[in-house]
Amino acid sequence: MLKLTKQLKVVALLCVYTFLLEISVFLFKQEIGYEGSTLPQYNFFILVEFIFYAYFFKQIVRNVYLLKVINLFLLMFPVLWYIFSFYCFNILQWSSYAFVFGGTFIIFFALIYCYEKLTSDETTSLFNEGEFWIAIGLIVYYTCVVPYMGMFHYLTENYEKLAVKLKSLNLITNIIMYLLFAYAFLCKTIKTKKSYL
């Protein structure tokens, strides 16, 4: 039986929401024949995604100062998302500022959490720590994708072929992140004989 911690359930819920979003976008385009922009759905997803990840890290970090930063992020990000999505950009355009801002903070939260785990006096195996693997997946994904998404408007306007080629980076790191998430959900059930991590 797969038992998930409260923190992993938050990520699992976000994964379900992500899956439903992707299915709805696919159905809108393929089955209904919708030809408009689906960017409003993805821009709204940015808001939900980063709030979920910040809440996830709020549950697992121990650093008091970082907890204050996370609480401030949870208060400020919705306001900044609104400003970025409706004033800096049109909701029908990719809100790259919101993505870069949120992604940068998620990288920061994940790095601090990993540092806490690696320098902790606890002798638990990281191979069986699902939260650790979620953090690693987020680091891999956002460190690769934040620069690309931050330059997305510039690349699509000036170097469209390069923008299309770099889109595969998003796909590859997305796959790696979700593979690490899958391991995070299953790692408690996997028996490891010896572990030095």
The residue extents of the domains of the chain are 6-186
Record the tokens describing residue 191, joined without a space: 């028996």
Instruction: Count other Cβ atoms within 10 Å, centred on residue 24.
Output: 12
Record the tokens describing residue 86, joined without a space: 């409706």
Question: C-alpha distances in angstroms, 60 versus 8, 98, 113?
Answer: 10, 24, 8
Q: Quote the CA–CA distance of 23 and 117 in Å, as a whole number.
A: 36
Name residues whose C-beta falls within 8 Å of residue 29's C-beta, 6 or more positions apart in sequence. Answer: 35, 38
Q: Quote the CA–CA distance of 124 and 196 in Å, as a whole number.
A: 9
- Burial pattern 70-97, b for ≥16 Cβ within 10 A else e, equals beebeeebeebbeebbeeebeeeebbbb
> Could you report the per-residue pLDDT of 170-188, keeping only the tens digit for each?
899 999 999 999 999 898 7
pTM: 0.87
> Could you report the per-residue pLDDT of 98-128, keeping only the tens digit for each?
999 999 999 999 999 999 998 888 777 788 8
Which pLDDT does position 7 carry in this prediction? 87
> Could you report the per-residue pLDDT of 134-180, keeping only the tens digit for each?
999 999 999 999 999 888 888 888 888 888 888 888 899 999 999 99
Helices 64-83 & 96-119 angle (0-180, nearest 10): 170
Closest CA to 50 of 133, 5, 108: 108
- Is the C-alpha dihedral spanning 37, 41, 46, 49 positive or negative? negative
**129 HSE (CA, 13 A, CB side):** 18
pLDDT at residue 193 is higher than 70:
no
